[in-house]
Amino acid sequence: MIEIQERDGGVTLRVRVVPRASRSMIAGEIDGAVKIRIASPPVDGAANEELVRFLAKLLGVGRSSVQILAGQTSKNKIIGVSGISVELIRSKLA
């Protein structure tokens, strides 16, 4: 099950990024993290930018509401999303 925690008016979740996919999409769950395939390569922060854009669109929030809290240069990241509830995020990721 995907681990999602509430924090100061938002939530945090763990994400495992797989860059250079044919298109950006949710690819399931791995060890409590959301597995997301990203179309961009991991060069000059392009994959991180695509991840933030993809999650903002998927969750229906602004790009400024999605932040990479940890793991800027790693495939394993902790994402913070403000202005959304745990229930809403679970329904959008299902």
- The pTM of the whole model exceeds 0.85: yes
Listed as ranges, residues in the chain with pLDDT below 70 are none
pLDDT of residue 9: 83
Q: For residues 75 and 86, give the distance between their C-alpha atoms in angstroms, rounded to a whole number.
A: 23
pLDDT of residue 2: 87
pLDDT in tens, 74-89: 999 999 999 898 999 9
Contact 71, 77 (CB under 8 A): yes
pLDDT of residue 41: 92
4-93: CATH architecture: 2-Layer Sandwich (3.30)
